[in-house]
Amino acid sequence: MTDGPTVAQVNYSFFHSTQSFIYFYLASLTRVRPICLTRGRESPLIRPDVPEALRGDFYAFGGRRSRLWSRGAEVRRALTRVPGGAGERALGVLQRRVVPHVRPDSDPSLFVDWAEGVMRERDTQLIHAYFGPVAWRMLELRRRMDVPLVVSFLGDEIAPSLNSWWSWWIGGANGAADWPARLRELFDGADLLLAEGPHLRERLVELGCPPEKVEVQRIAIPVTDLPFRARTGPETRPVLMFAGRFCEQKGVLEALEAVRTLHSEGRALEFRMIGDDTLTEGGYAARVNAYIREHGLEGCVTRLGFLNHDRYLEEMARADVFLHPSRFDSAGAGEGGAPTTIIEAQALGMPVVSTLHCDIPNVTVPGKSAVLVPEGDPVALADGLRDLLDHPERWEAMGRAGRAHVEADHDVAKEVRALEERYLSLLAR
């Protein structure tokens, strides 16, 4: 850490495993000192401790997750495995009627007051908020403390409607709020808005953000920490890997349908899925589990649950091909930018099969490091996978193209310098 200007990094929840690229930036800053303020710590089911790089500079409004929350995660996981649609219905009732009444932090103004106290104690000179709804709440602190506000947009904010977990930030206990109006307030009040890719930047401008206020700050990872392994074809059956939340915009059901098509052709393969049915409301995860059960895919599909980042990288390093067919969901929400996992897969040397969705064509080298097909099309997805599996002699060149691309455009050792310059430029005004 450094003794430079203090920058308060504010997020919905602790972000080491679930949003690892944010942590990579924080751990790499040398010209400013980041302090982390979060509504709640990361689930102890994922990682029970704060990484060494953040100790002494990490503040959680809700402290440790309650026993009630942990029990709720166990209940959701169990319900996603109940057959016959009963689990999905029960999860819907749980989300609508139970969850809103057991949250201990129904007044968001308490979080704002708490955050102000921490920031003043630490002599904060700039606020960097992640996700639009969190940043909208930070407009109040920008006014009170007269410090610049930087916002990282990551995709959810540009959907036609916000997911239910954001309602607390913009509407208080009743969740009622006009998000488009809040978004316009944020465009007016924030000093700098960062998008993870050119597609997301264009969408923000289309929604009314002044072009001179929004810049691209790429997703970045510590490339040198990820060992490259050339894929030259499996000795036994190939291993396909997916990593992400079990939700519609990740295209998990399309991935399973493509795998089922190849499996029905008699191909020996294994599809390993890193993901968790407790980080979302669980309804989609219930459909994922039902699909695997109903189509007899237990023999070729392995569900690993949510893994902390170290275990996730171990699994990724052993896989052959990375499969992540992102798409817009039925409510119009998409990635906004692109999944960090696709960048990490390329750094590790895996060829990627994905979709022409949002910024995915910008974080890959289409046709060289990745096979990209139209989103929401499991037939095209199966065709892309089949062609790749039939030609393992292409894998090594694809992996090397992906690694070179990530080294050039997504190495945190390079990208952090651009972020620091943006901070220091705002502070110098």
HSE at residue 415, side-chain half, CA atoms within 13 A, is 24
Establish whether domains 6-65+104-220+412-428 and 223-409 are of one fold: yes
pTM: 0.90
Architecture of domain 223-409: 3-Layer(aba) Sandwich (3.40)
Q: Which residue ranges in the chain fall short of pLDDT 70?
A: 1-2, 14-18, 42-48, 63-82, 84-106, 165, 172-176, 277-282
pLDDT in the model for residue 18 = 67
Query: In the chain, what's the furthest Cα-to-Cα distance?
Result: 65
Per-residue pLDDT tens over the stretch 359-386: 999 999 999 999 999 999 999 999 999 9
Q: How far apart are the first and last CA of the chain?
A: 24
Does CATH number 3.40.50.2000 belong to domain 6-65+104-220+412-428?
Answer: yes
pLDDT in the model for residue 171 = 72
> Where do the structural domains in the chain lie, given as residue ranges?
6-65+104-220+412-428, 223-409
142-160 burial string, b = 16+ CB within 10 Å, else e? beebebbbbbbbbbbbbbe
Per-residue pLDDT tens over the stretch 254-293: 999 999 999 999 999 999 999 876 655 668 888 999 999 9
- Using only the alpha carbons of the chain, give its radius of gyration: 21
